[in-house]
Structure 1
Amino acid sequence: MIAAVLCVLVAAAIARPTFAQDGSRFWYETEALNPGLPEGDASRLDRSTPRLTLRGFINATERGDYDAAAHYLNLARLAPENHAASGPAAANRLASIMARQVWIDWSSIPARPDAMIEMAGGSNSRAGEPRRNLPLATLQTGGKAYDLRLARYKPPEGPAVWLFTPQTVDNIAPLYDAFGPRRYERAIPDVLKRELAGLWLWEWLALPLIALIVLALGWGVQKVVHWLSTKAPRNWLRNGLDRSRLPLALLVMAGTTQAILAWVLSFSGPVQAIVKPTLTIVMVWAVGMTALRILDAILHKITLRFVGDIDDKRGFDERNFYTSIYALRRLIVLVTVGIAAIIVLARLNLFDSIGMTLLASAGVLTVILGIAGQAVLGNIIASLQIAFAKPVRIGDAVYFEGEWSYVEAIFYTFLRLRTWDKRRIVVPVTYFISKPFENWSVTEARMMRVIDLWLDPCADVDLLRRSFQKMLEDDPDITDTENAYVYATDHSPDGFKISFYAMMPDPSTGWTAQSRLREKLMACVRDEHPEWIARERVLDVGDGDRRAGTRAAGAG
């Protein structure tokens, strides 16, 4: 029994860390606090709350008192004999890192000793619970993430205090190498290292100068890319480069600014908080847009090579292929936007801070987006529906709301129709698919055209049938002369309607051929049988004589 008790005590002693133990949910128990630092300095410091600790550390480093600032660090992982030398140096470096990379939101730093979460917001299940460990920031370098944290420690004697954690002290060295002052900053005079409106004086001078340099560089990149596009040997490459001028310029501008921040100058936290996410977003957008525009040029080249200018004269497979190309582009854009959003969130480390908030507010966002973006989202969904179901394809001839036109393009939110007289009609996708329309190319481009003529009852239909067949055989655009018919389809006291039916190869050719055949039929009647022209007979009785007058009626 005694041996078992001894084993438990030995195991507990081995498992107990030398600097802290989870003895309370309010603090970490520790045997001693920085025994290698002078105790007199610590007695004058107020480290009872996270806010007082952070403010005291910043105030001490701003006045250059790094000996006092060292008392805000937990140096438990350093040998006590090294505290006096290593503590102030670590405080100096940590202050430099925080000044350049951390923009402190003081409202989020608790002013309570127990750092209790007081506001119960939405899904915050930890409201009302005390905390003994508080994250300040997470910085990434070399593919690794490093945390800056405050924690509450309780020595055997004395009150509990908030200090920077030993892990934070260990992280100072790699973070200082990545985010500390650059070598060129040593040449900046001390008079320019004073603060003005939250920024150092030298930053107010350097920022406009860097902006001018970067803008000039972007202008030069646009000119160079335009010159290269004029020298490109292939048309698709020329179009791709010309359309990528702006994204490439922005990419070079953002990359140059990143290089300046990494190797030349390291700006303060407020500037980094604005510039860093902006550069990340610009670079991701520029890379994505450059890739998309070059891909557009390649897809356009493919369609021109295998399809050419699209209209209903092209076969079903060609029009189907062109529509699939447009659908592929839309899917690539959606995937690119999704990947870009994930990269931006990951690069800016926003998943941890807003990920749960987005999930918690998904219902509210769904309602807001459903109301505000109903039309846009509906058009996008309808566009994808057209792309996959293909009730209409690019190049199809359609008859929509009294207009005969071709489907020239299908975009996310609208269709562009090209009328026979080269006008463009832009129609929202949801409106287009909600209205009935005639797709003259749904199975094949061929269609039957009819020409109606009103003639006198004495007209010989058989003779007209033979003449019409001869006209079809002589017409260069008519390829199917077998499917041709001539019928008397209506009559009236003044004449009857003769309908001439002919199979046209496609709607555009059919319209031209129909007009040409109508002219030939009218010329045949006028020149060879003028008596067949329909006339309106008027019975006029006057002076006891019956006189019949006639009046030409014309053709329909």
Structure 2
Amino acid sequence: MSWNVIGQLIALALTIGLTLLIGWLVDKALQRVAARHPETTVWPMLRRCRIPLQFVVCLALLLANAPLAQLFDRHAGDVRHGLLLALIASVGWLAERVVAAVLTAFFSRYQEVADDPSRVQRVRTQISLLRRTASALVILVTVGAMLLTFSEMRAVGASLLASAGLIGIVAGIAAQSTLGNFFSGLVIAFGDLVRIGDIVVVEQQQGTVEEITLSYLVVRLWDQRRLVVPVSYFVSRPFENWTRADPHTTGWILLHLDHTTPVPELREQFHRLLLDSKEWDGRDWGLVVFDTTPSAIVIRATMTTRNPDDAFILKCATREHLLAWLRDHHPEALPRVRTAG
């Protein structure tokens, strides 16, 4: 055996040893990070990627140094091509393992904090579908990359890409509405237009955002009904978001009263009501004659609250209290229908 062959075998052994060392170091690093952050399950999951990582490192080193290929003088090109194919397959294997680890860790974390079994099941289904989709995409890209390493397959690959592009255009036109909702969901998710828990007004109905997906949004109305709205609605049409920047709200009511209404006394009574109310946040209030007609005056009472729910409660209480006070102390101030004698 020549010294050249012995040197190549030593280089091959060093490559394998370096591969095992890198895999061991990465595994130890993941162990330490997992010990420091026990609440995060992604690090233990990533330890399962050790074997495909070692394959990637080993094959990359073999391609870089070519110790094995030089042992086969006549078939060195075929050996390097085989190593390249194995490297591409190993990269796809590693990518599939990483995606699976991240998705599994995300679901485990969600399962720990969620208290609704139905939502856990829904997320489990979504994660499973997403994992299968990602795996299929990784396999497709990996196989395509392996085929492109063959000179005879490049023309076929170009034809397949052209056909796929044509099919994609036709499918895009057929599924224009679905794709529109998908990209609108991305805009909402990353543009911070609507968040879970926001109070919105959609189609003249007020509710709380309960669920957001890439295709639809669920709004829980005051009577526990659910309004399901396509996410494209929030991108293409104006809507009210009462809690996007600040949940504090200014509520107001209108009272149609007689011209003889003692407005200063009514204003003082309204202020007393606010001082005794836990819904009023103390920032601002007011009671003014907002408008007048030949038969009545319009009183507007405004009050600030911490959130829209408190505003609704305080508005109802204000109407009830002020009308009861006028009925008991100034009944002549209540609106009357005048008829000619």
TM-score (norm 1): 0.38
| Greater share of residues in helix | 2
Q: CA deviation at 1:376?
A: 1.7
Letter in 2 for 1:381: F
Could you say if the C-alpha distance between residues 301 and 356 of structure 1 is closer, same or farther in structure 2, counting changes exceeding 3 Å?
A: same
Check whether the contact 2:251–2:302 (CA below 8 A) recurs between aligned residues: yes
Please name the residue that 1:296 is paired with.
107
Partner Cα separation in structure 1 for residue 202 and residue 209 of structure 2: 11
Does the CA-based 8 Å contact 2:258-2:336 persist in structure 1?
A: yes
1:363 corresponds to 2:165: yes
CA distance, structure 2, for counterparts of residue 407 and residue 334 of structure 1: 25
Q: Where does residue 301 of structure 2 map in the other structure?
A: 500
Cα contact 2:100–2:131 (8 A) shared by 1:
no
Deviation at 1:365, TM superposition (A): 2.4
**How far apart, CA to CA, are the structure 2 residues paired with 1:288 and 1:455?**
67
Say if 2:327 is the partner of 1:538: no
> How far is the alpha carbon of 1:293 from its aligned partner?
6.1
The percent of aligned pairs where both chains have the same amino acid is 33
Output one character per residue of 1:394-441: Cα deviation in whole Å (capped at 9) or x when no partner.
221111111111222210111111112221111111123211111112
Matched-pair contact (CA < 8 Å) for 2:287–2:301: yes
Q: Does the alignment pair 1:436 with 2:231?
A: no
Assess if the C-alpha contact under 8 Å between 1:486 and 1:498 holds in 2: yes
Letter in 2 for 1:521: L
The letter for the 1-side match of 2:268 is R
Change (3 A) 1:347 1:437: closer
3-state secondary structure, aligned to 2:271 = helix
Q: Please tell me whether the aligned partners of residues 420 and 508 of structure 1 are also in contact (alpha carbons under 8 angstroms).
A: no
Matches within 5 A, 1:304-453: 339-345=134-140, 352=147, 355-453=157-255
Query: If you compute each CA radius of gyration, which structure gives the higher value, 1 or 2?
Result: 1
* d(CA) in 1 for partners of 2:104, 2:269: 56
- Give distance in 2, aligned partners of 1:409 and 1:348: 37
Q: What is the aligned partner in structure 1 of residue 320 from structure 2? A: 519
Note if contact 1:392-1:439 (Cα within 8 Å) is conserved in structure 2. Answer: yes
SS in 1 for 2:223: coil
- Is 1:509 aligned to 2:287, yes or no? no
State the Cα RMSD in Å: 3.9
Matches within 5 A, 1:46-85: none
Q: Secondary structure at the match of 1:535?
A: coil
CA 1:528–1:409 in 2, change beyond 3 Å: closer, same or farther?
same
2: CA distance between counterparts of 1:514 and 1:452?
10
- CA drift of 1:466 comes to 0.7
Aligned to 2:277: 475
Question: How many residue pairs get matched?
Answer: 239
Query: Which residue identity lines up with residue 295 of structure 1 in the other structure?
Result: F
Query: In the superposition, relative to structure 1, how do residues 428 and 527 fare at CA in structure 2: closer, same or farther (>3 Å)?
Result: same
> Which residue, 289, 310, 313 being the options, matches 1:488?
289
Q: How far apart, CA to CA, are the structure 1 residues paired with 2:300 and 2:240?
A: 22
Q: State the Cα distance separating 1:333 from its structure 2 match.
A: 9.3
TM-score normalized by structure 2? 0.60
What runs of 5+ residues in structure 2 fail to find an aligned partner? 1-54, 57-74, 76-95, 116-122, 148-152
| 2:288 counterpart letter in structure 1 | Y
Report the 3-state secondary structure (helix = DSSP H, G, I; strand = E; otherwise coil) of the residue aligned with 2:103: helix
CA distance in 1, matches of 2:230, 2:100: 25
Deviation at 1:521, TM superposition (A): 1.2
Separation in 2 of the partners of 1:435 and 1:349?
A: 42
Measured at CA, do residues 303 and 446 of structure 1 come closer, stay the same or move farther in structure 2, by a change above 3 Å?
farther
CA contact (8 A) 2:99 2:134 kept: no
Q: What is the letter of the counterpart of residue 394 of structure 1? A: I
* Matched residue type, 2:237: K
- Distance, in Å, in 2 between the alignment partners of 1:539 and 1:411 is 62
Aligned 8 A contact 1:455 1:496 in 2: yes
After superposition, give the CA deviation of every residue in 1:254-310 in whole Å (9 maximum; x if it has no partner). xxxxxxxxxxxxxxxxxxxxxxxxxxxxxx79x978963652351475689xxxxxx
C-alpha separation in 1, matches of 2:309 and 2:271: 21
Question: CA 1:434/1:346 → structure 2, altered by over 3 Å: closer, same or farther?
Answer: closer
